[in-house]
Amino acid sequence: MLELQEKRIVVTGGAGFLGRQVIDQLVKAGAQADKITVPRSSDCDLRDFSNCQKVSAQQDIIIHLGAHVGGIGLNREKPAELFYDNLMMGTQLIHAAYQAGVEKFVCVGTICAYPKFTPVPFREDDLWNGYPEETNAPYGIAKKALLVQLEAYRQQYEFNGIYLLPVNLYGPEDNFNPESSHVIPALIHKVHQAQKKGEKTLPVWGDGSPTREFLYSTDAARGIVMATQHYDEPDPVNLGTNEEVVIKDLVELICELMDFQGEIVWETDKPNGQPRRCLDTQRAKERFGFTAATAFKQGLKNTIDWYRENAD
């Protein structure tokens, strides 16, 4: 087990939604808060290699959560930026960390890396059996390239880098900006706005048929820290719940929890995204003992409660 007490740890994206939870879990696992560094994109652009070198200098562990990321809308609007930014940040940071002698690199990838038509539940061994869903592909492939880099650096330099694949995350403090948010926060925001305006209909993209899997942010953070401490192998590892949720059911549940009485209108001219998503979570359980703990309905309720308190 990797003891965290004296370790100097960098958490890229540490000021973000997942990052704050990861820092909290690191401290619970014994890390010292004053030894955790959080580079901010405003003054430390990781697309610049010299910044990656500064961030990596004299550090023991790097947990790379930093990403340029959003929902279907952003993926369609800015595919080039999503590809370039994520590839450059990740690949340069891994190289700088190797050069600086960092003891362990934890790379958090994306479920978007999986092929569009992957047998459900998604097994890590199927990661390369096809091309990702088109709207996600630039982001997903940029992130997946980092897995190849870590495997190559392990083979040639014995660099200890691990790669985790969390499913869609949700929870309090998520990004609720409708321009760039993922499905759960986008829907919560949409229902709240409809209620504020007294609207009787709720337009939702797609036809409601796709499925998704959702992992509560606290569970995801706990899984990342468990892997940091207990996992040192090259194989990628899924982090999820192994529970498949139909989007139609998700929308109805959010409406029920928020007491929205209006009609849901499916915008079938808008994209559905990937048809199905659900992870095989056996590897995480076997390799480092991780299983999700938060029931989906309770997690949604916590998220809605937080949003309502902070909506303005």
pLDDT digits (tens, 9 = 90+) for 72-126: 778 889 999 999 999 999 999 999 999 999 999 999 999 999 999 899 999 999 9
Please name each of the domains of the chain with its CATH number.
Answer: 9-170+214-243+276-293 (3.40.50.720)
Please report, in range form, the residues annotated as the binding site for NADP(+).
13-19, 143, 166-169, 182
Of 171-180, 189-198, 285-294, the poorest mean pLDDT is in: 171-180
Average pLDDT over residues 25-31: 98
Q: Is the pLDDT of residue 216 over 80?
A: yes
Return the number of other C-beta atoms located less than 10 Å from residue 309's C-beta. 9
- Known binding-site residues equal 13-19, 143, 166-169, 182, 190, 205, 212
Which residues carry a binding-site annotation for substrate?
190, 205, 212
> Is the pLDDT reported for residue 180 higher than 80?
no
d(CA 310, CA 312): 6
Q: Does residue 307 carry a catalytic annotation?
A: no
Q: What is the pLDDT of residue 40?
A: 93
98, 114, 139, 153: the active-site residue: 139
- What does the pLDDT read at residue 182? 84
Place of tokens 């928020």: 258
Mean pLDDT value across residues 229-253: 97
Section 9-27 average pLDDT = 97
Q: Is the pLDDT of residue 70 over 80?
A: no
Residue 312 has pLDDT above 80, yes or no: no
The pLDDT of 185-211, averaged and rounded, is 95
Q: What is the pTM of this model?
A: 0.93
For residue 121, whether the previous peptide bond is cis, meaning omega lies within 30 degrees of 0, is: yes
Rg of the chain over CA atoms, in angstroms? 19
